[in-house]
Amino acid sequence: MKHRFQSQGFNFGSAFFTGLTGLATALILVFLVIILGNIFLNGWEGLSWRFVSTIPKKDFFEPGSAAVLPMIVGTTIRVFVMTLFVIPVGVITAIYLTEYASTTSLYTRIIRAAVNNLAGVPSIVFGLFGLGFFINFIGKNLDQMMNASGPHFGQPAVLWASLTLAVMTLPVVIVATEESLKAIAPGLREASLALGATKLQTIWKIVLPNALPGIMTGAILAISRAAGEVAPIMFTGAAYYMADLPKSPTDQFMDLGYHIYVLSTQSPDIEKTRPILYATVLVLLLLTFALNAVAIVVRSRMRKAMRAGH
Amino acid sequence: MQTHHEKELAELKDKLLTMASHAETAVTRAVEAVVNRDEKLAVQVRADDNILDRFEVTVDEMSVALLAKAPLASDLRFVLMVMKISQNLERVGDEANKIAKRARDLAGEPPLKANIDIPKMAQIALGMLKSSLDAFVRRDAATARALIPRDKEVNALNKQFQKELMELMTRDPANIRRCMWLTVVTKSLERIADHAKNVAEDVVYLCEANDIRHAAGK
Amino acid sequence: MPEPVLQKIAMPEAPAQPTTGTVPLIEADKLSLYYGQSKALKEISLTIPEKLVTAFIGPSGCGKSTFLRCFNRMNDLIDGVRIEGQINIGGHDIYGDDVDVIELRKRVGMVFQKSNPFPKSIYENIAYGLRLHGIKAKSELDGIVEHSLKGAALWDEVKERLNASALGLSGGQQQRLCIARTIAIKPEIILMDEPASALDPIATARIEELILELKEQFTIVIVTHNMQQAARISDYTAFFYLGTLVEFDVTSKIFTAPKERQTEDYVTGRFG
């Protein structure tokens, strides 16, 4: 009797492909370890309580007087303000696209194409857009309307930088929200409607609460993307130096990413500045992780609450 | 709590048991008519025969409706056996009818001196029918099995009576008509015992899913 | 909401109609439904009696579910659906201009194939629909929640954990919760779209038993692929094929002696 299930011997193709994919994955890990390791090892020494808790003097290239408190505050504020704008706009857009718009209409297809293309625009272009649209158009017009003596809105500010970042990260939030809305079982919507709920009631009470973790994922992605961006804020709000923390939305602000750029390009003595640079990069990394961590904790709380059924 | 399905099965069972009591009554009264030479009673039994026929139709209709609901295992066997038992009961009714017919005829003739114990035979046959139905109600395979051999008693009695009647006929041709009728009566009682035995076998199948018919020949 | 007025509509040909001793509640008159250009339901006329179970059977794609969804206008949600003809419920044209779909769905509840409890607590699943219809008082909610769970034969299993997530229930329990949620808002009619097709035989038997109890108070229309199920629970059965109503009769007739050849072939499994 023949043993039909006997192996035909070693399968080279399969083994080769397994090896190839494993290798590619390992390569990513190697790069990550090199980059993070390099930053941690070199940045660790420059880190101190004084470094993260004082406002530096004008000469922040000197290891003795360098500090990053205003940059931490600035970056955190602009990320939060951005989140405040991008989440509602992104979520409402996604709701329109998934719940209301006809999937086949030309209008919807144009919106979708616009969202996709927005995601592909280089960040420096957003920076210039922010300068042109928010500062020179909206800001200056606001000034004119209010008959301000000097430029008040029509100048770089944390508000305009945050809005520019919000426009940039809009596609991320829209796509993530759309995905989470689509992932909700259609049965839930039907069940709600069959009980006599209106569409709005169904979206507000059933669809949105269930989409929250997905929306938070969008927020996390947007925050990660925005926290380290420099180009969009260069012309719209980031300052080379400020003696004080920003006090109002129309103030300029110092930013970690921009400061790294300044440190690495403007330093009179790059060798002396290098430890500060490493420490600043490390602070930016940690801040980004921290902002993400907050969002992730919030998301997992939401998931747990949902599973518990409240 | 009883489910709707169980309720429907119970209704079917009740219907069958009502039918059975009608069948028993028919036999009892037919035998009574023979023994007491009661022509009126005989006519009554014959008139009531269609009651059993109607019962058989109703039981079949209920069973078919139940079968369309795809009962399984013991429920399936139950419905199938109810159909078979109702058929047997209808036949029992036919036999009672035959007995009653002869009772009417016999009542019009002078009594025949013969050593034939019709009541005894009827008692055994009816007893078998009763206990087979008891076994059905209680789903008692042991009782059902136990009464199957009693069919042989009835068969033996029948054979004995047939011989007796044969002798009476050879002795005096004037007896022939009445003897022939009595032959029919004993034959019918023997058939009733057969039907009771069939019911008992059906009960065993219902309880054990074990077909014991025709097992003696193997 | 108007009182269910039982008026007969003049029709050129009498619709398929159950016979004696029943009160008509839903009357479809030459109902056709189009998905864009294709005609999914073809001039269906039939009358569904009150407080009985009516089953729709037929092969996949025969239109039985689509027809069911006409009764609470769930098809309105689908782009490109167009309806011709009429459906009267209690003598009132539910596709008329003056009809409030929300109010209609309150009177015509629906239970779906896949149990779809909300990811909320057992209590909230039932309270949701009640709040939609303006019942807010805690004491009133408590009472209706308990009553509906009892009505759906689920109370004894969940009374200790009303605040636990509905998603922790078994498939059969979830489906009974969906039934409880539906009966909580006291509809007249309950539409069921293959409510037991995803359940094991025990859970299915419980749902079937429940349906037989519910028909004391509600008119039930059920779509099922399981012919024995239709035979077990329904009083009337309609057989659909390719968007047409082939035969509508007393259930026992459909399953033991159908008039139409197509019905015979379908119920005997000789289709094709």
Q: How many CB atoms lie within 10 A of CB C70?
A: 24
Q: How many CB atoms lie within 10 A of CB C115?
A: 25
**pLDDT given at position C17:** 56
Q: Please name the residue of chain A whose CA is at the shortest distance from the CA of residue C114.
A: A187
A29 contacts A44 by C-beta, under 8 angstroms: no
Taking the Cβ of residue B120 and every Cβ of chain C, the question of whether any pair is shorter than 8 Å is answered with no
**What is d(CA A193, CA C110) in angstroms, rounded to the nearest whole number?**
10
Dihedrals phi, psi of B158, to nearest 5 degrees? -60, -45
- The mean pLDDT of B175-192, rounded to a whole number, is 92
Taking the Cβ of residue C246 and every Cβ of chain B, the question of whether any pair is shorter than 8 Å is answered with no
**What is d(CA C116, CA C163) in angstroms, rounded to the nearest whole number?**
17
A216 contacts C144 by C-beta, under 8 angstroms: no
Q: Pick B41 or A46 by higher pLDDT.
A: B41
User: What tokens does A250 get?
Assistant: 């129309």
Tens digit of each residue's pLDDT (9 = 90 or more) over B73-106 = 889 999 999 999 999 999 999 999 999 999 999 9
**What is d(CA A137, CA C44) in angstroms, rounded to the nearest whole number?**
62
- The mean pLDDT of A38-48, rounded to a whole number, is 87
Dihedrals phi, psi of C84, to nearest 5 degrees? -125, 155
Nearest to B65 among C209, C212, C252 (CB): C252
Is the four-CA dihedral A285, A286, A291, A294 of positive or negative sign? Answer: positive
Rounded (10°) CA dihedral C214, C220, C225, C229: 40
Q: What are the C-alpha distances in Å from A260 to residues A136, A255, A282, C264?
A: 27, 9, 10, 81
For chain B, the straight-line distance linking the first and the last C-alpha, in angstroms and rounded, comes to: 45
Nearest to A205 by CA among A213, A193, A218: A193
Residues of C in contact with A197 (CB under 8 A): 102, 129, 132
Nearest to A161 by CA among A105, A98, A85, A60: A85
Say whether C79 and A104 touch across the interface (CB within 8 A).
yes
C266 contacts C59 by C-beta, under 8 angstroms: yes
Touching A (3+ Cβ pairs <8 A), the chains are C
Residues of C in contact with A306 (CB under 8 A): 119
Buried b (16+ CB within 10 A) or exposed e, A246-281: beeebbbbbbbbbbbebbeeebeeeeebbbbbbbbb
Judge whether residue C159 has pLDDT over 50: yes
Could you tell me which residues of chain C have a Cβ less than 8 Å from any Cβ in chain A?
72, 74, 77, 79, 102-103, 105-106, 109-110, 112, 114, 116-122, 124, 128-129, 132-133, 163-168, 178, 181-182, 185
Taking the Cβ of residue C252 and every Cβ of chain B, the question of whether any pair is shorter than 8 Å is answered with yes
State ipTM.
0.86
Average pLDDT, chain A: 87
Nearest chain B Cα distance for residue C186, angstroms? 24
pLDDT confidence band for B33 (50 / 70 / 90): very high
Own/partner pairs, C133-140, CB within 8 angstroms, 24+ separation:
C133/A196, C133/C106, C133/C185
Judge whether residue C13 has pLDDT over 50: no
**What is d(CA A253, CA A156) in angstroms, rounded to the nearest whole number?**
9
Taking the Cβ of residue A305 and every Cβ of chain C, the question of whether any pair is shorter than 8 Å is answered with no
Q: Please name the residue of chain B whose CA is at the shortest distance from the CA of residue C255.
A: B68
Nearest to A222 by CA among A83, A41, A125, A75: A83
Dihedrals phi, psi of C188, to nearest 5 degrees? -90, -35
pTM of the model: 0.77
Mutate to test the interface with B, among C52, C256, C263, C266 (most CBs of B within 10 A): C256
Q: Please name the residue of chain A whose CA is at the shortest distance from the CA of residue C106.
A: A196
Q: Pick B96 or A276 by higher pLDDT.
A: B96
Look at A5-14, A162-171, A267-276, B189-198 and tell me which has the smallest mean pLDDT: A5-14
Nearest to C231 among B3, B4, B69 (CB): B69
**pLDDT given at position B27:** 95
Say whether C118 and A102 touch across the interface (CB within 8 A).
no
Nearest to B98 by CA among B152, B155, B33: B33
Q: What angle do CA A189, A193, A196 make, to 5 degrees?
A: 155
pLDDT confidence band for A145 (50 / 70 / 90): confident
Average pLDDT, chain C: 87
Tens digit of each residue's pLDDT (9 = 90 or more) over C100-143 = 999 999 999 999 998 899 988 999 999 999 999 888 899 999 99
B99 contacts B188 by C-beta, under 8 angstroms: yes
Say whether C231 and B68 touch across the interface (CB within 8 A).
yes
- Using a threshold of 3 CB pairs under 8 A, tell whether chains A and B touch: no
**pLDDT given at position A309:** 53
Nearest chain B Cα distance for residue C242, angstroms? 25
**pLDDT given at position A194:** 93
